[in-house]
Amino acid sequence: MSISKVTKTSDRRLLKPTDVVMQRTIKTSINCSGVALHSGSKVSLTLLPAEADTGIVFRRTDIAGKGAEIKALWHNVVDTRMSTTLGNGEGVTVGTVEHLMAALSGCGVDNLVIELNGPEVPIMDGSSQPFVFLVDCVGVVEQNSPRRVIRILKTVSTNDGAAMISPGSHLSLDIEIDFDNDMVSKQSLSIGVVNGSFAKELARARTFGFLHQVEALRAAGLVKGGSLDNAVVVSGDKVINEEGLRYEDEFVRHKVLDAIGDLYLSGAQIIGNFKGICSGHATNNALLHALFEDSDSWEYGELSGADALSAIDGDIFPDLAETA
């Protein structure tokens, strides 16, 4: 593997405008284990460094032969009900990839092999924080190839208008949710994913569900591993988790986190503004299909230090700063 130097997130301010942002992987491998949300089984997960231009690749170690690797790419998404599931067309799948993908996007990890001994990424605490912790524990290294980003050139939307992406100077997201529930109700958030804002403002936001839906989901063979340890559960106008919420607007923050994870299945960091109105995994994937069907709407590019520096103070938009 070609490694030039160790770079920590805090070193980004040392970038010169003329520097080109390089690809990154993790310094050494690291492992954790946890429960799979839907199957309820215990899963072991290992993150391994990968060569430049590998991208993010899942490897099922419980399946022998060449069918065991699946690239984390939008056209490999085979199911978007409840979570995002990747498949290789030969029946091998990896489910619930979005919180891990969000962490890798937020931590700026371009290349990684993710080994799993089961069909689902462990849910951990329902957020991206445990995966950010793993990356932080081992640190990241720069590689000898420039980071390839996807620049949005014109606005693309899904047919139902629930999600769109437009040109911008860095990745930013603007999401609105509107649930028929007094606790969750209407929330909106605009945030730029730069300068560590993912780890500070989004990574800890947990997935959530409604108590009255849990029995129906269990009957459908889903959320067998779900508990108050890995989801915020809402009943009427109350959160039943004893510790309450991690952010006042944790619900919309989690939807932003989900969208970041789903968008990273584009295969590169997207430079553009995402807008979602009650969007979810299906809409996020439909948006990537719409984007890649229109070759005039995007281009590959490199990221210079000037781009990174101009985005550095744009992490929290004023409407968030007032409510945080």
Interaction of residue 105 with Zn ion, rule CB under 5 A: no
- Residue 110 as a binder of Zn ion (CB under 5 A): the answer is no
Q: Is position 85 an interface residue for Zn ion (rule: CB under 5 A)?
A: no
Which position among 115, 120, 174, 258 is part of the footprint of Zn ion (CB under 5 A)? 258
- Structure token pair of residue 303: 């990221």
- Our finding on whether 96 is near Zn ion (CB under 5 A) is no
Q: Could you tell me whether strands 273-277 and 112-116 are parallel, antiparallel, or unpaired per DSSP bridges?
A: unpaired
From CA 252, how far away is CA 250, in angstroms rounded?
6
**Rounded to 5 degrees, what are φ and ψ at 229?**
-80, -15
Minimum distance of Zn ion from residue 84's CB (angstroms) = 9
307 binds Zn ion (CB under 5 A): no
The Cα-based distances of 118 to 33, 40, 204 in angstroms read 11, 11, 25
CB neighbourhood size of 19 (10 A): 14
**Could you give the residue numbers annotated as active site?**
281
Among residues 114 and 232, whose Cβ is nearest to Zn ion?
A: 232
Q: Are 92 and 60 in contact (CB under 8 A)?
A: yes
First vs last C-alpha separation in the chain: 42
Name the one range near Zn ion by CB under 5 A: 5-13, 113-121, 206-214, 281-289: 206-214
In the complex with Zn ion, which residue's Cβ is closer, 174 or 258? 258
CB 215 → Zn ion: shortest distance, Å? 21
Question: Closest distance between Zn ion and the C-beta of residue 132, in Å?
Answer: 15
Interstrand relation of 269-271 and 148-152 (parallel, antiparallel or unpaired): parallel
Instruction: Determine the interface stretch with Zn ion among 11-19, 172-180, 207-215, 225-233 (rule: CB under 5 A).
Output: 207-215
Q: In what order do the strands lie in the sheet with 22-26?
A: 3-6, 140-146, 22-26
Q: What is the rounded CA–CA span in Å between residue 147 and residue 110?
A: 8
Closest distance between Zn ion and the C-beta of residue 13, in Å? 31
Using rule CB under 5 A, residue 23 touches Zn ion: no
* 212 vs 167: CA distance, rounded Å: 40
Backbone conformation region of residue 126, classed left if phi is above 0, alpha if psi is from -120 to 50, else beta: left
| Pair of tokens at residue 320 | 């968030």
Task: Name which of 39 and 207 has its Cβ closer to Zn ion.
Answer: 207
Q: How far is the CB of 207 from Zn ion (least distance, A)?
A: 4
Residue 250 interacts with Zn ion (CB under 5 A): yes or no: no
Binding-residue total with Zn ion (CB under 5 A):
2
- Could you say whether residue 207 binds Zn ion (CB under 5 A)? yes
Q: Say how far apart CA 205 and CA 254 lie, in whole Å.
A: 5
Residue range at the interface with Zn ion (CB under 5 A); choices 36-44, 164-172, 196-204, 253-261: 253-261
Nearer of residues 114 and 260 to Zn ion, judged by Cβ: 260
Stretch that binds Zn ion, among 12-20, 22-30, 111-119, 251-259 (CB under 5 A): 251-259
Name which of 207 and 285 has its Cβ closer to Zn ion: 207
Smaller CB distance to Zn ion: residue 258 or 307? 258
With contact defined as beta carbons under 8 Å apart, do 152 and 167 qualify? yes
The window from 39-47, 145-153, 205-213, 226-234 that contacts Zn ion (CB under 5 A) reads 205-213
Binding region for Zn ion (CB under 5 A): 207, 258
